Amino acid sequence: MIPYGRHSIDADDIAAVVDVLQGDRLTDGPAVARFEAALGAVTGAPHVVACASGTAALHLAVLGLGLGPGDAVVVPSLTFVATANAATYVGATVRFADVDPDTGLMTPETLEQALARPGPGRPRAVFPVHLNGQVCDMAGLTAVAERHGLSVVEDACHALGGAAVLDGASVPVGAATASAAVCFSFHPVKTVAMGEGGAVTTRDGALADRLRRLRTHGISRDPGVFQEHALAFGADGAPTPWYYEMAEPGFNYRASDLHCALGASQLTKLETFLARRRSLAATLGQALAPLAPHVRPIPRGPTDADGWHLFVVLIDFEGLGRSRADVMAALAAAGIGTQVHYIPVHRQPYYRARDPDLHLPGAEAYYARCLSLPLFPAMADGDVDRVAAALREALQ
Ligand SMILES: *Cc1c(COP(=O)(O)O)cnc(C)c1O
């Protein structure tokens, strides 16, 4: 079976993890800082906070911005449920934005539409999602966000290694020049694998400090922030050695040294992974060209700026008189794994119950046609032909 996505682990990665296992620190050790520095180097962000997952990263970002009840967060409907749930965790409401029907991305126009729609909560933040590795129009989105006084947090779980064009310059995804924070996932289907893992990048040092505290129960050991002086300091004025303080409750969202060692090792191969993904995507695009117009790869921007997480085709199932379930089953029988990214989140029962009449035609049109085909660095060139041939066969 060729899966739709798969991690690539080699001997270096294994050695890096074994090294941690043979050392003194399985967690709270030096591999965490090493991973954070490596991700900082790749993204250009001055502050990186590693954490347990992409979901934890999103939750930390929402907490870090101080969002809560009475606030609304704009999230595109075409994303993984975790983007919306982050706002829900803190009691904020989710204001779903529609997406472009062909790219699946939130646009400045669909953001404006979501803000113009009446709904509960005062919009305070927007979470653009760089779906499939395509980078959103950050200049356009931040212009709208500024006009409405919204904080911007990028969900870049698909887009490590991608780039945004800002003021004519190419800026790596994660640099956080156009947003308060950027969230990443290192789940094995993503471009870099930690098993489970995530990170928030930011240019705001105070925000990074707060995220670090929230990642470990809200606890601080920094005497400079202690409030309970009688407890914190001894008669000599020095902090007592055991003392720590919790000013607000946080979580255990740490990433262990095992995970961070794997992540740091994987990051050294990011450019190789991306080059392979780009090359496979180009070949796959050519191999599928004869299936137009019923099958079209989603139109994508400059190939260098794309994180190439997923290779998505839009298939006119209706015009072909075929159901997606049948086509997926035929592909699976031919040994080709596929997936649908994503069911629009506003259609999930939890969110449906909160806004039963919401229709987002762009998200629904994208969802009706999308299919993610295999794309991962370890795919062989021959696999591309197998995928294209199986899809041709399956659609006949
Ligand atoms: C994977 C993913 C997440 C969640 O990441 P986890 O590491 O699985 O928690 C959030 N948003 C998007 C767009 C994702 O693809």
Indicate if 90 and 218 belong to the same structural domain: yes
Q: What is the CATH number of the domain that holds 115?
A: 3.40.640.10
Give the domain CATH number at 311. Answer: 3.90.1150.10
The answer to whether the CB of 83 is under 6 A from ligand 1 is yes
191 lines ligand 1 (CB under 6 A): no
The total number of residues written for the chain in this structure? 396
pLDDT of residue 165: 85
For residue 291, how many other CB atoms are within 10 A of its CB? 16
Please give the Cα distance from 111 to 99 (Å, whole number). 9
Confidence band, pLDDT 50/70/90 cuts, at residue 176: very high
pLDDT over 90 (residue 238): yes
Residues 256 and 280 in one domain: no
Cβ of 256 below 6 Å from ligand 1: no
In sequence order, the β-bridge partners of residue 339 are: 372
Q: Which residues are catalytic?
A: 190
- Angle formed by the axes of helices 108-116 and 138-147, to 10°? 30
Report the phi/psi class of residue 394: left, alpha or beta, with left for phi > 0 and alpha for psi in -120 to 50: alpha
For a ligand 1 pocket test, name from 80, 105, 192 the mutation site with the most ligand atoms within 8 angstroms of its C-beta: 80
Give burial (CB, 10 Å; 0-12/13-18/19+) of 284.
buried
Q: Establish whether residue 129 lines the binding site of ligand 1, counting it when its CB lies within 6 angstroms of any ligand atom.
A: yes
Contact 351 CB / ligand 1 (< 6 Å): no
Cα 186 to ligand 1 centre (Å): 8
pTM for this structure?
Answer: 0.98
**189 and 96, same domain (yes or no):** yes
Reported as a single tens digit per residue, the pLDDT across 252-270 is: 999 999 999 999 999 999 9
Task: Please enumerate in sequence order all residues whose Cβ is within 8 A of that of 7, keeping only pairs 6 or more positions apart, or say none.
Answer: 188, 189, 193, 376
Question: In angstroms, how far is the first alpha carbon of the chain from the final one?
Answer: 21
> How far does the centroid of ligand 1 lie from the alpha carbon of residue 50, in Å?
14
> 274 and 128, same structural domain?
no
- For 337-352, what is the mean pLDDT? 98
At which residue do the structure tokens 């471009």 appear? 191
- 3-state helix vs strand vs coil in the chain, percent to 5: 40, 15, 40
Same domain assignment for residues 241 and 385: no
Handedness of CA 153, 159, 160, 161 (dihedral sign): negative
Instruction: Calculate how far, in angstroms, residue 183's C-alpha sits from the geometric centre of ligand 1.
Output: 9
How many whole angstroms from 158 Cα to the centroid of ligand 1?
8
How many whole angstroms from 131 Cα to the centroid of ligand 1?
Answer: 11
Q: Is residue 37's pLDDT more than 90?
A: yes
Q: Interior CA angle at 387 toward 131 and 268, to 5°?
A: 55
Is 6 part of a structural domain of the chain?
Answer: no
Average pLDDT, the chain: 97
Strand partners, 239: 233
Nearest to 206 by CA among 1, 82, 46, 22: 46
For 102-129, write each residue's pLDDT tens digit: 999 999 999 999 999 999 999 999 999 9
Q: Which two tokens stand for residue 29?
A: 């050790």
Cβ 124 vs Cβ 65: under 8 Å: yes
Looking at ligand 1, which atom is closest to the CA of residue 58? 10
| Residues forming a β-bridge with 374 | none
| Mean pLDDT (whole number) for 225-242 | 93
Say how many Å lie between the CA of residue 54 and the centre of ligand 1.
Answer: 5
CB 260 within 8 A of CB 197: yes
Instruction: Report residue 138's pLDDT band, with 50, 70 and 90 as the boundaries.
Output: very high
Q: What is the pLDDT of residue 396?
A: 85
Q: Is the CB of 372 under 6 A from ligand 1?
A: no
Q: Residue 61 in 3-state DSSP?
A: helix
Percentage of the chain beyond pLDDT 70 is 100
Report the domain count for the chain.
Answer: 2
* Residue 8: partners with Cβ closer than 8 Å, 6 or more residues away: 193, 269, 273, 376, 377, 378
182 and 36: one domain? yes
Residues 306 and 262 in one domain: no
**What percent of the chain lies above the pLDDT cut of 90?**
97
Measured in degrees and rounded to the nearest 5, phi and psi for residue 306 equal -95, 140
pLDDT value for 168: 85
Range of the domain at 325: 270-395
Ligand 1 mutation pick, 85, 88, 136, 185, max ligand atoms within 8 A of CB: 185
pLDDT digits (tens, 9 = 90+) for 194-220: 999 999 999 999 999 999 999 999 999
Q: pLDDT tens-digit profile of 271-301?
A: 999 999 999 999 999 999 999 999 999 999 8
* Span 353-362, pLDDT tens digits: 999 999 999 9
φ and ψ at 121, to 5 degrees? 85, 155
Do 237 and 342 lie in one domain? The reply is: no
What pLDDT is attached to residue 167?
A: 85
Closest atom, ligand 1, to C-alpha of 130: 13
